[in-house]
Amino acid sequence: MNAVFLPPKVASVFQARLTAKPQWALAVLCFAVLLASGCGKAPPEAVDKTPQVDVTTPVTGTVTDYEDFTGRLDALKTTDIRARVSGYVMKAPFKEGDEVHTGDLLFEIDPRTYEADRNQAEANLKLAKADSNLQQKIAKRATTLVRSLAQSQEEYETAVATAEKAQATVKANEAMLNRAKLYVDYTKVTAPWDGRISRRLVDPGNLVNADNTVLTTLVTENPLYAYFDVNERTYLDLVGSSTGKPVLGLPVLMRLSNEADFNRPGSIDFVDNRVNATTGTIRMRGVFPNEAKILKPGLFVRIRLPIGAPYKALMIPDKAILSDQGRKYVFVVVPVVDDQGKPVVDDQGKVVYKVVYRSVDVGQELQGLRVIKKGLAPGEWVIITGTQRVRADDKVQPNEKDPPKPPESRLSQLLASIKPGKNNNGKPADKEAKKPAEKDAATQNSGSVGSGN
């Protein structure tokens, strides 16, 4: 048992109080026990303050360089439906915003005036034919008489000319009848092709003017165009990396404004013939399927354009990359070595590790991983957590984590699925390049459409 020694003055005070009040005896006894227990403990062991960090090694995956651009969707065909004849609208039997098919009735204009013109043209044609038959008989009789010298040459020539004139009148009346029938057909405005109809701009009872009044608008929905402008630097890189292959038919990816991933494949089918000197861009167009017919012309989209062929690259978690005034770097953990190049070990025989600053050139981000173009080698340990607790040359305790699974690049898969010389629709690229654009100036500008059943 350890003895507790008190100074003489303190001891005399305690002895006096113990004599005066016996309850002090218990307090003094407890105090002595506490002092004795504290004096008997050994000093605590030293705590290792070396920070612990999580490290992993880079993974190798197949990636494709790309550039993203802003675009807008547009229909392959856009037409303003106009009346071909003037008159009052009697009915518009279509449902606004509905899908229509070729030949469906959209508007009907009062046909009674044009039917009357047609009937008159038919009557005029009958009169002309009757007169022509009569003049043919007179000319035939005149031919016989002139041979027997029973009729003068002048009367004969007059009869022949009158017969020819009557034949011409028949043809003129036939043309007038055809025009009258055409106008009657134009009173029924039908859909020129399958597509989605807009709202009606003219209600029944209103007067419309021929080739002037817009009745509604019709657009096609499947597939759709996506127009986007590419800067000239990217265009030159694209042409340089194509190694002689045509740009037409090159696959591209698209996403909508509310989507995070580019999951909609398409292909380039048009490249403009000049660079806009004002903006320094060239216009391209991609064509994308719209089987569900959910996408609408005019939607804002993002286009991902591949640059070059797929290649193998090192990738690390994006959170491991740090920034220093715009320069990207990572912390790499390496063993400490002595002058002879041998790893240094501590008192417990463990290898001592330190942090190394490593500047890197980064590429695209893919599913949480960042491509490292320069600065890292396969198998090196990169700090993924704990970067804020360490600095260069600090000693650390690395905890190795399993490397992430290599991501699957949708763009690389799309490029790999395309056979040489073919686009993503399976058609030869050269034939596709020679195929004229289906959407000409007439579809981009307002057009007049109206046909009969």
DSSP 241-302: HTTT--STT-EEEEEETT-SS--EEEEEEEE-SS-BTTTTEEEEEEEE--TT----TT-EEE
List the single range of 20-29, 43-52, 116-125, 316-325 with lowest mean pLDDT: 20-29
SS3 call for 75:
strand
Based on the domain organization, do 142 and 208 belong to the same domain?
yes
For residue 423, is it within any domain? no
Domain containing 374: what range?
A: 52-60+313-405
Percent of the chain with pLDDT over 70: 80
pLDDT band per the 50, 70, 90 thresholds, residue 364:
confident
Q: Please state the rounded mean pLDDT for residues 341-347.
A: 82
Based on the domain organization, do 109 and 202 belong to the same domain?
yes
Torsions phi, psi for 344 (to 5 deg): -85, 135
pLDDT in the model for residue 292: 87
pLDDT band per the 50, 70, 90 thresholds, residue 447:
very low
End-of-domain residue from the set 405, 421, 436: 405
pLDDT in the model for residue 204: 92
pLDDT band per the 50, 70, 90 thresholds, residue 158:
confident
For residue 417, is it within any domain? no
Based on the domain organization, do 110 and 128 belong to the same domain?
yes
pLDDT in the model for residue 178: 92
Based on the domain organization, do 165 and 108 belong to the same domain?
yes
Res. 236: pLDDT tops 70: yes
- CATH code for position 246: 2.40.30.170
pLDDT digits (tens, 9 = 90+) for 273-299: 899 999 999 999 999 998 888 899 999
For residue 354, is it within any domain? yes
- CATH code for position 138: 2.40.50.100
End-of-domain residue from the set 219, 238, 259: 219
- CATH code for position 325: 2.40.420.20
Torsions phi, psi for 396 (to 5 deg): -140, 165
pLDDT in the model for residue 7: 57
Q: Report the mean per-residue pLDDT for the chain.
A: 81
Based on the domain organization, do 211 and 227 belong to the same domain?
no
One-letter amino acid of 6: L
End-of-domain residue from the set 190, 219, 248: 219
- Residue 108 Cα to chain centre, angstroms: 40
How many domains are there within the chain? Answer: 4
CA neighbours within 13 Å on the CB side: how many for 421?
1
pLDDT in the model for residue 366: 82
pLDDT in the model for residue 344: 84
Res. 225: pLDDT tops 90: yes
For residue 145, is it within any domain? yes
For residue 2, is it within any domain? no
**Better-scored residue on pLDDT, 101 or 152:** 101
Q: Please state the rounded mean pLDDT for residues 242-252.
A: 74
Based on the domain organization, do 83 and 213 belong to the same domain?
yes
pLDDT in the model for residue 156: 76
Residue 218 and residue 196 in contact, taking contact as beta carbons nearer than 8 Å: yes
**Better-scored residue on pLDDT, 338 or 215:** 215
pLDDT in the model for residue 46: 52
Res. 109: pLDDT tops 90: yes
pLDDT band per the 50, 70, 90 thresholds, residue 191:
very high
What does the alpha-carbon distance between residue 195 and residue 75 come to, in Å, rounded to a whole number?
Answer: 10
For residue 47, is it within any domain? no
For residue 253, is it within any domain? yes
Res. 441: pLDDT tops 80: no
Q: Please state the rounded mean pLDDT for residues 411-418.
A: 72
Based on the domain organization, do 89 and 211 belong to the same domain?
yes
Res. 385: pLDDT tops 70: yes
**Better-scored residue on pLDDT, 106 or 242:** 106
pLDDT in the model for residue 19: 57
For residue 414, is it within any domain? no
Res. 229: pLDDT tops 50: yes
Res. 437: pLDDT tops 60: no
Based on the domain organization, do 82 and 56 belong to the same domain?
no
Based on the domain organization, do 93 and 200 belong to the same domain?
yes
What does the alpha-carbon distance between residue 184 and residue 197 come to, in Å, rounded to a whole number?
Answer: 24
Res. 49: pLDDT tops 90: no
Res. 428: pLDDT tops 50: no
Q: Please state the rounded mean pLDDT for residues 407-432.
A: 57
Based on the domain organization, do 155 and 181 belong to the same domain?
yes
What does the alpha-carbon distance between residue 270 and residue 283 come to, in Å, rounded to a whole number?
Answer: 8
Res. 217: pLDDT tops 90: yes
Based on the domain organization, do 293 and 378 belong to the same domain?
no
**Better-scored residue on pLDDT, 46 or 77:** 77
SS3 call for 130:
helix
Neighbours of 172 (CB within 10 A): 13
**Better-scored residue on pLDDT, 428 or 399:** 399
Burial 121-135 (b: 16+ CB within 10 A, else e): beebbeebbebbeeb
pLDDT digits (tens, 9 = 90+) for 298-318: 999 999 988 877 888 899 999
pLDDT in the model for residue 16: 56
Q: Please state the rounded mean pLDDT for residues 75-83.
A: 91
Res. 452: pLDDT tops 60: no
Based on the domain organization, do 342 and 392 belong to the same domain?
yes
Give me the sign of the Cα torsion angle 212, 216, 218, 224.
positive
Res. 446: pLDDT tops 50: no
Res. 359: pLDDT tops 90: yes
Res. 412: pLDDT tops 80: no
**The whole model's pTM is what?**
0.65
pLDDT in the model for residue 248: 84
pLDDT in the model for residue 39: 52
